Amino acid sequence: MAGPLSGVRVLDLTGVVSGPFATMFLADQGADVLKIEPIGGDITRRSRATIDKDGEFSALFISNRGKRSLSIDVKSPAGHEVLAKLVAQADVLVQNFRPGTMERLGLGVEELRQRHPRLIYVSISGVGDTGPYVKKRVYDPIIQGLSGFADIQSQPVTNRPQMIRTIVCDKTTAVFTAQAVAAALYAREKTGQGDHIQVAMLDAMISYLWPEGMMQYTVVGAEAAAADPNDRPDLVFKTSDGYITAGTISDSEWQGFCRASGDPELANDARFATPSARSVNATARINKMAEYIGRHTTAEWLERLDAADVPCAPILRRGEIIHNEQVVARGIIAEFDQPKVGRVRQPKPAARFEVNQAAIGGPAPRVGEHSREVLRELGYDDGAIDDMVAARTLRVAM
């Protein structure tokens, strides 16, 4: 059965991660996503280590799964003509060029939306299109630094900020973007009008961080009086043979932990008797939990905590995740054949639809794999296509 976005045409002019990851979600949900690549291909095809002998695919690029690829020089007259025809057919255009680039290409939002009022035009940027940082070149660590994420990860003793070791800003911005596109498509069904969606990575990450990461800055005028919720150890506990995590927010969870510890006196400690006391004395509470947890194995603690209805889990190494019993039972990881690479793994779409099911729509495309197909759909004959290939305006997969 087709996904919920079946019939939606998405023109993907994005590169790197935030844009391609957002359009991957749309492809998973049934949209026809056409990835426009430069003649040399998306930069992430060569990001980090390639995984095929021709250097066309990296593990990172596989997240462009389920898309079609048109490799064309959009700055050339022929490329500009092709793109104009594609825009006329598109429901959604997504771009993450630096501010001003699309205008120089003759693809500015005002011009296109005036010509195509139903078009949903999406602009993803690092810090937005206003302000003193607007011309900054931005990657994920820049936003981690600006948004407070690096501060939240600060080392407890030295207070040295640390980066999160994944491109959290790019990927979270992608989720915000995909949700916004779905909202705009719904609004267009009611009004007949498209929209211009602007998603800045900095805006997205401050919004994402705020609820608990910025608690002490929520009440105006009370900043200095509020405790820093991050000034405490993390919830990584070393057992006698590994690591677990456990949470004791509610009274029942704390009492359950006390029972699991085997020490009746722990439940009588006034510092931890109420949610408020446990919060004020969080460092002492977590350190006390660590003392008990270090005395037994991971398996024994998980059994005790589960029996006491205390939230807990083993802390899995990445190599253990694909074999974890819950991951296997849910069928979270899918396998499929990726041309030129072999068998690959990808997570299935996280949002599961009962009626209009989302699904991985196929492997990631080769550079220009669908160039001929797309141009034929636009009415170009093989002679015209061959001329563009000869002029190096168009690339087709060999």
Catalytic positions: 170
Bridge-partner residues for 346, per DSSP?
334
> Which amino acid would we find at residue 64?
N
Distance spanning both ends of the chain, measured CA to CA: 32
CB 297 within 8 A of CB 241: yes
CB 320 within 8 A of CB 347: no
DSSP letters, 193-234, are --EEEEEEHHHHHHHHHHHHHTGGGTSTT-TTTS--TTSS--
Convert 187-224 to b/e letters by CB count within 10 Å (16 or more is b). ebeeeeebbebebbbbbbbbebbeeebeebeeeeeeee
**Helix or strand holding residue 245 (H, E):** strand 243-246
CA distance 46 to 62: 11
Phi, psi of 345 (to 5 degrees): -115, 145
Rg (CA), the chain: 25
CA dihedral 64, 13, 381, 366 (to 10 degrees): -20
